Structures are given as structure tokens and as C-alpha cells.
Chains A and B, each alone.
Chain A
């Protein structure tokens, strides 16, 4: 048993933090915040290319594909630190599609895509959700017709974040409408977002950043962009979702540290806020839950490093961590009181308006990548064997 990083891991952690701090620019930090922490903007690409050059974007990948053959613990640790230090931490190509390609893609596909992904050169956008297919992805119907040497795509996608800044669409399509079980007619493909016939329109979220509605009209996709086999896409999609279902708390852990510092420095009625019993209880409780999340998070890495595949544990970590983001931001808003509502560029704004911004952002964390309800279904059914 051992619940700490090894000496080498700790040293590596410091190296990563130092590098990030050295390479971070105010422009990059601002861009990351404005975009909701996704990857693909010009400033983010600059720093991520440097990080990728060190092998830190995809550390667990084999060396031939631009990885370091490193452990999952190391990989999880880097992602946590990236979040904590204000870098983008949602990577579709490197952390969701890439691992799925490694598992299910052909040799040609691996050669064509993995080096470009691990070097930070390309980013994908997640293309699952449609107006009628949210939690129930088997209901998706963007049609891909087999035209011999290519597929022809027609249909709509909704809430496909990153499409406006990413390069390719990691797209789930329907290749068979006649199967009795709808999930058996789905395929996955990689589509160039600059293809003629694709229209990307903004949808602005309550947190201010953007997601998209995407319309496909007679879009041609080369056959070699099909992932794995036709009509097996739902398995690949599920695998990619499993890779997505882990939530590095970093950015919210950082916010918590800043709220603690605020409580210590802010004097009300001649006493720091941090000496008020109720505030102490609330902040202590959050720090406990952050520790719980740390254990759940690295448990996933531990299971992977042992050669296993996390079962319900990913859903548990994702749910616990994302629900915690809402408790952290809510306590933060309460502690800041009337100041909490002031936006970054307002006179008297505290903590650069971060608390209200993350308070807004936290709402969606328990919805994307499978809602908390879907995760609880998985925990009960996969974890405890209750009837589906």
C-alpha cells in the first residue's frame, strides 16, 4: 500500500509545474478561461505544442507515437497540474479519440493520426449529441451513406463544443437505419471541419463561452477516415466516453485555495473570516471532499497501471468531482457575499471575478460526458449488478 507519489514522481510534478508557470502567458490564461478550458485557440496551441514536445500531452502512449511509455499515475498528475495552473485541460484528440484509435484503429489510422495528435498539432471536436440524442446516443441519426469511395453525410449535431476552434470532428454517424437495435447501426469517423457543406453556428452558454450547432449538407468523407469497422461505432464511442469520464479537479482546487486565502485575509468586524466557526466548517468540509476526490482520481490511474480497466469507478469519480465543483463555487459565492456577484472588470471585484465565473461554469459539469443520473445508473448497474 502506498498513497503518495514516489520521489521521482514528486520531482517530475515540480518540473511540470515550473515549466507551465514559465511558459504561461496572460493571453493564454485569458483565452483558456474565455473558451471554457477547451483546447484549440491560438494561444493554447502555442503552449500545448511545447508541452507535447516533451511527451507530456500523451505520456502513456508508446514512444513510436510520441508518448513516453509512462504510467497512468504520471499522466493523471500532469492533467491535474495543467488544470490547477490554468491551462486547457479538455483534450478530445489526445485524451479521448487517441486512446480509442490505439485500441480499435487500423495500423494506417494509427500512423496517420497518432503522431499529429501527440505533438499537439491537431485537435478534434466531440461529435455525439444531436437534438433528439442527448443521454440516449443510440438515437442519433446524422446519416452517412456509403458512396463507394466515400461517405456522404447529412444531418445535425447539437452542443458540439470546440468545432469552431478544432481541426477535425470526432463524429458519430448512422450508417444503418434498419437494424432492430439502433445502437448497432452507428459508425465513428474523423471529418475535416473545413469540408464543404459543414455549417458551424454558435450557441452561447450562460457561462459566456461558446458551444455549437453543426449542420452537415452533402459532406464527403473519405473512406479511410472510418474508425475501425462500419456499424461498430457505438463500442468505440462507449470506449471514448470511458476515457472521457474522469475529471481532474485542478482548476476548482485552485479556486478553493484562493477562497481559503481570501477568508484568511478578509477582516470583517475586526476578525478574519477564517475565524468564523461556520466558515471554518464549510471550508474544512470542502477540503475533505477534495481529498476524497484525489483518492478517487488516482484510484483510476492505479487500476489502469495494474493492467485493469476501471469499471464503475470512473463514473463515481466523475460524479463526485463534478458535484463537488458546484459545492466549492457555491460556498465561494456565500463567503464572498455581496462581492461574489461582481464581474471581473467591475470596480470592487474580488478574486478577479473568478468565483461567479466558475459558479456559472460548474452547472454544466454534471451534465456533459453523461449526466450524474446516467453515471448513477452505471454505478448501480455495472458496479452492483442491478437490473438494466
Chain B
């Protein structure tokens, strides 16, 4: 048993913390919530220069050759700082999809551009049913000679408004099993027939509705095998789920710090509020939610990184962390008092993001159902 990150991962963590504390201050986070783009070119380029976009891409694709676990280190710090922008959609969702597709040509074409910060890519997966099971994929791609014609609506597509390329998860065949007959297409966002409408979200992240109206895509733009795309999406969902857990853990760490600031500075009845036992017990519960979320996230990330069976652990973790970090933030608000309800207090940033991350890629109920299957119920 070894619960610790290795030395390089510790270095990466500290470097990321240092960088983000300078470049991604809470004021900037608030500005980007209002900003139509949601990211500045300047910050995006700096992140690219640090090698963050290509962290887990192979070296021959312009990457650093790091592991998924390295990425988790980074995502935790991004959650701590509420980093805005399309890192998650471009790197974690699209990057992973491209890597998992094992399509060398596409990897060579796309990953270096992503790594250099020159391209935004997103994954158009969910639809109006707003769920993550294969039977919910109804956007159709009809074969037309060497091309496919895509029709339908994708919803909650992250950063669709700035994406240069969109990976569309579409149905190419009605199979007996719902996971059969799903194909992934790389679609140029400027293609004729694509219409993107921005959605307004409570966490200030950017999501869009993407309508495909007779969009023509060549069969050379297929990622992975025709009709067999779901096996890729399954792996992407696992990595994305645990990625969101890492963000929540980072955010939870910051929330705890905000609580401790208040507990050790503010006085009522002539004593620090942190000396009240009710507050101390809230704090003990916050730390328990945080530590357990962190341990579960590390274990799941480690299993994914090592290529071990992980379906059970991933769903256990997403369920646990979604619930726990939500509880953690609620206790944080209660401990900080009225100040924490003010827009200018940073706790509200975490309150909103934690709930959004909790439902992203399946909420606790959804993942508990997967766990129920996994334990043989």
C-alpha cells in the first residue's frame, strides 16, 4: 500500500498551485464567468507552454508522455482555483477520446495542435434526455456514399461556442444492444448545417446546444470503428468522472481553508468562532468528507492509470465524492455564516461548481445503480 503521489507529481502540484495562484485569481474567475469566450488567449497560451494540454499525450504526438494520474494532480489544482475555460472539454474529453480511438492519423493531426494550445475540441455526447447511457444517443448519422449525414440535437456540449472541432457521438445503426451502432465523428465546427446556441449556466461555465442539420461528414473523420464508438465513450466517461472528482476535491480543499480563515479570525461572544464546538464538529465533518473524497479519487485514478479493472471503483468514487463535496460545501457555508453568502466571498464559487460537477457524468444515484450491478444485486 502506498497512498502518496511520487516526487514528480508533488513538483507538478506545487508548480500548478504557484502558477494558478498568480494567473487565476478569484477576480479573474468572476470576469470569465461574464466573458462570452470564458478564457483569455494569454492564459491559454501560458498553460500550453507549461505543457499542460499535452500532459498525458504521447511524446510523438507533441505531448509530455505523462499519466492519467499526473493529469489528476493538475485537475485537483484547477478545481482549487476554479480555473475557467475549455481545458476539461479539450483535453480531458476530446483529448481522451482521440487517444482512446487509437487512430494514428487523427492522433498525429489533432493532438499536437491541442498540445500547442492552437485548437479547441469538444465532445458532443448528451442530448435532451440529459443522461449518459447508450440508449440515450439518438442523433443520427446516415450513410451517404462515402460520407455520413448527421441530424439531431446535442445538448450540454461544453465550450461548444469556441470549439474548432466537435466530436459528435451519433447513432449509425439500430442494434439489438443499445451500445452497438454508435459511431464517433470529428466534425469541423464551421461545417454547413451546424448551429450553436450558448446556454446560461449557474456555475458560469460555457455550454451549448449544438444542432446538426444535414451536416455532411466524410468517413475519414470517423474516430475508432464504425458502430463501435461506445467502448471508447465508456472509457472517456470513466476518466471524465474521476476528473470531475479531482476538481471537487481541489475545490473542497479551498472551501476548508476559507472556513478556517473565518474560524480563526472572527470573534463572537468574545471568542473565536472556531472555538465553538458546533463549529469544530462541522470542521471535523468537512475534513472527513474531504479526506475520504481525496482517498477515493486517488484510488480510482490510480486504477485507471494502471489499466486495472475500475468500473466499480469509478462509480463508487463519483457517487461518494459528488455527495460528500456537496455536503462539505454546505457545512462550509454554515460555518462561515452570512459573509459566505455574499457574492464577493469566494465560497459561492465553489458552491455552484461543486453541484455542477456532482451531476456532470452522472450524479450519485446514477452511479450507485452501477455499483449495485457491480456488487451483484
Q: Do A and B come from one complex?
A: yes
- Cα of A164 to Cα of B182 in the assembled complex, Å: 69
Closest residue of chain B to A313, judged by CB? B291
Residue among A288, A289, A319 having the largest count of chain B Cβ atoms under 10 Å: A288
On whether the beta carbons of A288 and B368 are closer than 8 Å, the reply is yes
Binds A, one of B90-98, B195-203, B269-277: B269-277
User: Is residue A199 within 8 Å, beta carbon to beta carbon, of the partner chain?
Assistant: no
Closest residue of chain A to B318, judged by CB? A288
Q: A281-B369, A387-B275 are in contact. Are A2 and B302 (CB under 8 A)?
A: yes
User: Is residue A295 within 8 Å, beta carbon to beta carbon, of the partner chain?
Assistant: yes
Query: Which residues of A have CB within 8 Å of B295?
Result: 292, 295-296, 299
A356 to chain B, nearest CB (A): 23
On whether the beta carbons of A292 and B6 are closer than 8 Å, the reply is no
User: Is residue B5 within 8 Å, beta carbon to beta carbon, of the partner chain?
Assistant: yes
User: Is residue B263 within 8 Å, beta carbon to beta carbon, of the partner chain?
Assistant: yes
B224 to chain A, nearest CB (A): 29
On whether the beta carbons of A264 and B302 are closer than 8 Å, the reply is no
On whether the beta carbons of A381 and B377 are closer than 8 Å, the reply is no
On whether the beta carbons of B3 and A379 are closer than 8 Å, the reply is no
Contact of A284 among B3, B288, B302, B377 (CB under 8 A): B377
Query: Which residues of B have CB within 8 Å of A375?
Result: 284
Interface residues on B, range: 35 or more
Residue among B274, B284, B313, B371 having the largest count of chain A Cβ atoms under 10 Å: B284
B306 to chain A, nearest CB (A): 9
User: Is residue A19 within 8 Å, beta carbon to beta carbon, of the partner chain?
Assistant: no
Query: Which residues of A have CB within 8 Å of B368?
Result: 280-281, 284-285, 288
Contact of B1 among A275, A280, A302 (CB under 8 A): A302
Query: CB-defined interface of A12-26 with B at 8 Å, one 1/0 digit per residue?
Result: 000000000000000
Q: A260-B375, A280-B368, A288-B319 are in contact. Are A379 and B1 (CB under 8 A)?
A: no
On whether the beta carbons of B6 and A287 are closer than 8 Å, the reply is no
A73 to chain B, nearest CB (A): 5
On whether the beta carbons of B6 and A1 are closer than 8 Å, the reply is yes
User: Is residue A298 within 8 Å, beta carbon to beta carbon, of the partner chain?
Assistant: yes
Interface residues of B in 1-21 (CB under 8 A from A): 1-6
On whether the beta carbons of B371 and A288 are closer than 8 Å, the reply is yes
Q: A3-B3, A384-B260 are in contact. Are A274 and B319 (CB under 8 A)?
A: no
Contact of B296 among A281, A295, A379 (CB under 8 A): A295
Closest residue of chain A to B364, judged by CB? A285
On whether the beta carbons of B274 and A383 are closer than 8 Å, the reply is no
Contact of A320 among B271, B277, B288 (CB under 8 A): B288
Query: Which residues of B have CB within 8 Å of A295?
Result: 292, 295-296, 299
User: Is residue A106 within 8 Å, beta carbon to beta carbon, of the partner chain?
Assistant: no
User: Is residue B143 within 8 Å, beta carbon to beta carbon, of the partner chain?
Assistant: no
Closest 7 CB pairs of A and B: A380-B280, A379-B284, A376-B284, A280-B372, A284-B368, A284-B371, A387-B275
| A contact residues vs B (CB 8 Å cutoff) | 1-5, 73, 260, 263-264, 274-275, 277, 279-281, 283-285, 287-289, 291-292, 295-296, 298-299, 301-302, 305, 312-313, 316, 319-320, 373, 375-377, 379-381, 383-387
Q: A1-B298, A313-B291 are in contact. List 12 more A-B contacts (CB 8 A).
A: A1-B6, A3-B299, A277-B369, A280-B368, A284-B372, A287-B371, A287-B375, A288-B320, A292-B320, A302-B2, A380-B284, A384-B256
